[in-house]
Chain A
Amino acid sequence: MSNNMQETAVSQHYIDELGAGIEHIWDVAQSLGLRPFPTNFEIVPATVMYEIGSYGMPGRFSHWTHGKAYQMQKTMYDYGLSKIYELVINTNPCSAFLLESNSVLQNKLVAAHVLAHSDFFANNAHFARTSRHMDDSVALNAERIRHYEFEHGTEEVEKLLDAVLSIQEHIDPYVTLEDVQPAEKKPARHHDGAYDDLWKLDKRGAEAGASDESPVRSRHKPSQPVRDLLLFILVHSPRLQDWERDVISIVRQESLYFYPQMQTKIINEGWASFWHARIMRELDLSTDDYMEFAELHASILQPSRQRLNPYHLGFRMLEDIERRWDEEGEGKGREKLFEVREIESDVSLIRNYLTQELVEDLDLYLYKQVGDELVVVDNGWESVRDRLARELTSHGFPVILAEDGDYNGNLELYLRHAWDGQKLDRNYAEHTLEYIYRLWGRKVWLETQTADDQKLVLSFDSREGHKETT
């Protein structure tokens, strides 16, 4: 493509130097015990980087929210407010993207960081069931949605996606189709015995009575409350057409794929930061390069007073684990780390390894808005740990359970907010109910609580609009 009018942004020299650097980094990573997927690095301009970042993966379906995310990221980048340091996709082989405007050293650090992510994807138990060919799947999904746009109109599909995406976080990777089916009446235990015919005489009346109960009445009531709203609606919605159910299944499939990444943000970023630091120290860096690396490393791990920086928290926790097991376990620190990388998620990492010393050392606290000020309200190590673990269980989203798909015997949907002391945003909840109504087609109920622990039930349908009962 030498005649191409478009100039390639980086020189051949840059590519050669970085390429050799990355190969060396790969060898170092191997020698340190990392076992990543084979990984392809692609050098891209910022616009492409931000696009992939806002879609989560190249080739996903179109929706204006992706465009909004893209615009926001791009604006922040243009104003120099943010830089995506790394972008890596959980596939085998693994794909990673490097920003062409980065220096060779910056991209080396990113490559080291990314290889540790790749190792984590390949070896952490929570990723074991993710599709490693998701890049193909999302492209096929996008194709299907494009087809539906053609058949049913762009606007119709957009409205449906608006509704489905509003609850895309409400999935459960451990739910099975059986869980969303109604509780079956278990047939009475049947003994094969010598006197069966005699026992049966006794029960005849009772059994005849039991079978009288109409199965229709409970057909949409799950045996247990289901937190996978997408699956519940997909299976039981009284109004959806097949193509609409397919769109829900697409969104759910993609959400499920991203789910382990939400589950392991702290440990995964901690793992990658831990290893990029180790790998970079193994390289023969000049003083200038080392300074650049140290500066970048510090900026990635910069803690914030108003947010938890997962890179920093994860990094510090893993270092602490290695130190403790080195001291107490006679140099078994490294071994312990690889065990942690294999089995833990954020919740279990926090539960098992966030100690009093760490909470105090990191100066972690809970704060709250009081008037115009943000005020520290709690810094007891146990309450911080427990609160964090609980929050991570649902990734910062409220847990909403589908309790009954045949409420009032009228195929209405009854949802319950699993109360944990935190109020819902009422305005947002009401809008979301409208979206769910779009999917369910009949009245939708939501039970939650007010700040003073009063039960509050919201409902919506198009005829009566929003209602509330306490």
Chain B
Amino acid sequence: MHTVTLTQHDWSLHRKGAIDQARHKAKVKEAIRQNLPDIISEQSIITTDGKKIVRVPIRTLDEYKFRFDPNDRQQFGEGQGKSKVGDVIGQTGKGKQPGNGQQAGDQPGIDYYEAELTIDELADMVFEDLCLPHLEEKRMQELESETVRFTDIRKKGPFANLDKKRTIRENIKRNAWRGDPHFGDLDNDDLRFKTWERAVRRESNAVVIAMMDVSGSMGVFEKYVSRAFYYWMVRFLRTKYDNVKIVFLAHHTEAKEVTEEEFFTRGESGGTKASSAYQLALDIINERFPSDSWNIYPFHFSDGDNWPSDNETCGRLVEQLVELSNEFGYGEIRQGRYSYQSTLMHTFQRIDNPKFVTVTIGDKSEVYPALRRFFGPELNERAA
């Protein structure tokens, strides 16, 4: 009688854990999607270099049970001898990095599940169905972007393009033909190479003119929100379109064109004349991006505190800009300070053109809805 045995089976088809893991991952994704508005405005995300892994706390995936308050709980430990009441045996690590959290582990007090994802994965979810609205084919200067696509398999080709998987398969097939299915005795006949063809993609030219109010009245919150918006906008444009130019304009009472880095890092002060930025945008369009060759998308973020005497000019200039543009987006950041409308927003109200889109942001979590309002799929539908 066998009382003890040792066996080994083929478990390669065993996938139950993987299947339930996939369901868990789907739930994580679902939870992230629901929290996108909060996640994408996180300071830690918009200040990264883009390579970072983001940790997202997901509370909906906690397995809730009746349990003791982990912060109030006495637990057991084993010392190395002669421990006394009052000895400190460790740190919780809490409070060092508020909001960043640690990986749930054996430390007490940390009680939520965190998903890890790269910025790119996050961006994919944010950009999933975003697009530049009202994009038109322009006659002039249509730029061709060339890509290479592997489309076919041949028996001859450069070795750099050897298709190893197919080659091995051919080899085994040939051996099997002779009654001995194994991999070996490689023959020239077995080799398979990938070949490619040139694919030319035609793209319309588009330019985005990003304008930001950097005047003294723009507080920390206002600057943060406009940067968060532009961070994602720039990322979105670069991910989805190969051929979009972005012009950065910063303004207070005067406007000037700045580099991307300056745009995201520099702070200014002083009063506000939004018309200066609009005038500069018009000049730049006329000089460099004529509207018969370019799709034009001006965006402007401000707190709406504009020089009162400047508002009339603003209204006039914006109307001109809207005429030239495919979409003009104006975002106003008002953190619950005012119950009434700003003078700038009030001026813009008389502009009745579906290409002119405004949003008001009062909270960090409204950056995501703003992105969707400017670039969401509904816009094209609305126009159509």
Q: Is the CB of A398 within 8 A of B74?
A: no
Residues in B whose Cβ lies below 8 Å from that of A363? 78-83
Interface of B: prevailing SS: loop
Contact string, A433-460, partner B, CB cutoff 8 A, digits 1/0? Answer: 0010000000000000001000000000
A373-B91, A374-B108 given; 18 more Cβ-contact pairs under 8 Å: A3-B182, A6-B12, A15-B8, A19-B6, A42-B9, A43-B7, A64-B20, A67-B22, A68-B24, A166-B63, A305-B78, A363-B82, A365-B78, A365-B79, A367-B77, A373-B88, A375-B86, A428-B65
With both beta carbons as reference points, the residue of chain B lying nearest to A362 in the complex is identified as: B78
Q: Is B6 in contact with A43, judged by CB distance below 8 angstroms?
A: yes
Residues from chain A with a CB closer than 8 A to the CB of B69 are 422-426
Quick check: is B84 within 8 A (CB to CB) of the other chain? yes
In the bound complex, CA of A431 to CA of B67 (Å): 11
**Residues in B whose Cβ lies below 8 Å from that of A74:** 17, 21
Closest 9 CB pairs of A and B: A67-B20, A51-B17, A67-B24, A431-B64, A363-B79, A303-B78, A67-B21, A70-B17, A19-B6
Contact surface of B with A, Cβ cutoff 8 Å:
1-12, 14, 16-25, 27, 61-95, 106-109, 111, 113, 181-182
Q: List 30 A-B contacts (CB under 8 A).
A: A4-B10, A8-B10, A42-B9, A43-B6, A44-B8, A47-B17, A48-B11, A48-B14, A51-B14, A62-B23, A66-B20, A100-B8, A305-B77, A305-B79, A306-B106, A308-B76, A363-B81, A367-B75, A368-B74, A375-B87, A376-B87, A376-B88, A377-B74, A379-B85, A387-B74, A397-B65, A397-B66, A425-B68, A425-B111, A428-B67
Cα distance, A66 to B19, chains bound together (Å):
10
B126 to chain A, nearest CB (A): 24
Q: How far is the CA of A100 from the CA of B11 in the complex (A)?
A: 12
With a CB–CB cut-off of 8 A, which chain A residues contact B113? 68
Give chain B nearest CB distance to A70 CB in angstroms.
Answer: 4
Classify the secondary structure of A's interface with B. mixed
Q: Which of A19, A306, A369 contacts B71 (CB 8 A)?
A: A369
Instruction: List, in ascending order, chain B residues with CB within 8 A of A23's CB.
Output: 4
Looking across the interface, which residue of chain A has its beta carbon closest to that of B63? Answer: A65
| A426 to B111 Cα, complex, angstroms | 13
The residue of chain B having its C-beta at the shortest distance from the C-beta of A420 within the complex is B68
A309 lies within 8 A of B65 (CB): no
Contact B17 A367 (CB under 8 A): no
Enumerate A375-422 residues with CB–CB distance to B below 8 Å. Answer: 375-379, 384, 387-388, 391, 396-398, 400, 417, 422
B71, closest chain A residue (CB): A369
Q: Given that A40-B5, A167-B65 are contacting pairs, would A54 and B17 also be in contact in the complex, using a CB cutoff of 8 Å?
A: yes
Residue among A100, A167, A362, A365 with the most chain B CB within 10 A?
A365
Give the residue of B1, B62, B88 whose beta carbon is less than 8 angstroms from that of A375.
B88
> Number of contacts between A and B (CB, 8 Å)?
244
When the two chains form their complex, are residues A64 and B24 in contact, meaning their CB atoms are under 8 A apart?
Answer: yes
| Contact across chains for A375 and B4 when beta carbons are under 8 A apart | no
B89 to A307, Cβ gap below 8 A?
no
Interface: A153 (CB within 8 A)? no
Residue in B19, B71, B92 whose beta carbon sits within 8 Å of that of A373 in the complex: B92
Taken together as a complex, chains A and B put the C-alpha atoms of A74 and B181 apart, in Å, by 35
**Chain B residues closer than 8 Å to A167, beta-carbon distance:** 65-66
* Interface check A281, CB cutoff 8 A: no
Q: A307-B106, A312-B78 are in contact. Are A8 and B8 (CB under 8 A)?
A: yes
The complex places the Cα of A45 from the Cα of B11 at a distance, in Å, of: 8
Which residues from B are CB-within-8-Å of A169?
A: 65
A10 at the binding interface (Cβ < 8 Å): yes
Q: How far is the CA of A165 from the CA of B87 in the complex (A)?
A: 38
